Chain A
Amino acid sequence: MTTLTAPTPRVRLARFRDLTLVPVILLLLVVGAFLDPTFLTTGNLTNVLQQQAAISLVVLAEAMILISGKFDLSLESTVGMAPAIAVMLVVPASAGGFGLGLPGMLVIPLCLLVGAAIGAFNGFLIIKFQLSAFIVTLAMLIIVHGLQLGPTEGKTLFQLPDSILYLGSAIWLGLPASIWIAAVLFAAGIAGLAYFRVGRSLYAIGGNADAARAAGIRVDRVLWGVFILGGMLAALAGILETGRLGAIGSNQGVGWIFMVFAAAVIGGVSMDGGKGTILGALTGVLVIGLVQNLLTLKGVSGFWQPVVYGAIILVALMISRIAGGKAQD
Chain B
Amino acid sequence: MAMNRRDVLKGMTLSAGSVLLSPILDKLQAQAGGRAITPKRFVFVVESNGVRPEQIAPVGVQRTPRPQQALNGPAEFVDLALADRRLPMSLEPINEFKNRVTIVQGLSGRVCGGGHSNNFQALGAFGAGRGNGGESMAIEGETIDGALARTIPGIFPHIGLGISKRLENNVIYNISAIAANRALPTMCKPDQAYANLFGSVAGGNAQREFAARNNLLDFMREDVGRARTRLAGEEREQLDSYLESFETLRNRQSRLNEIQHTLRERGPVVNNKYTSAVETDRLDAQFDIGAAAIICGLTNVLTISSAAGIRDFDITFRGLGLNIDKHTIGHGGSFQGHTWADLYNMIRRYHFTLIAELARKLDRVREGNGTMLDNTLIVYLSDGAEGHHSRCWEWPMVLLGNVGGRLRTGRYVDYPGYGRQGHRTTANMYVTLLQLAGSNRDTFGMRDQGLRDLDQTGPLTELLA
Q: A and B bound?
A: no
Interface residues of B (CB under 8 A from A): none
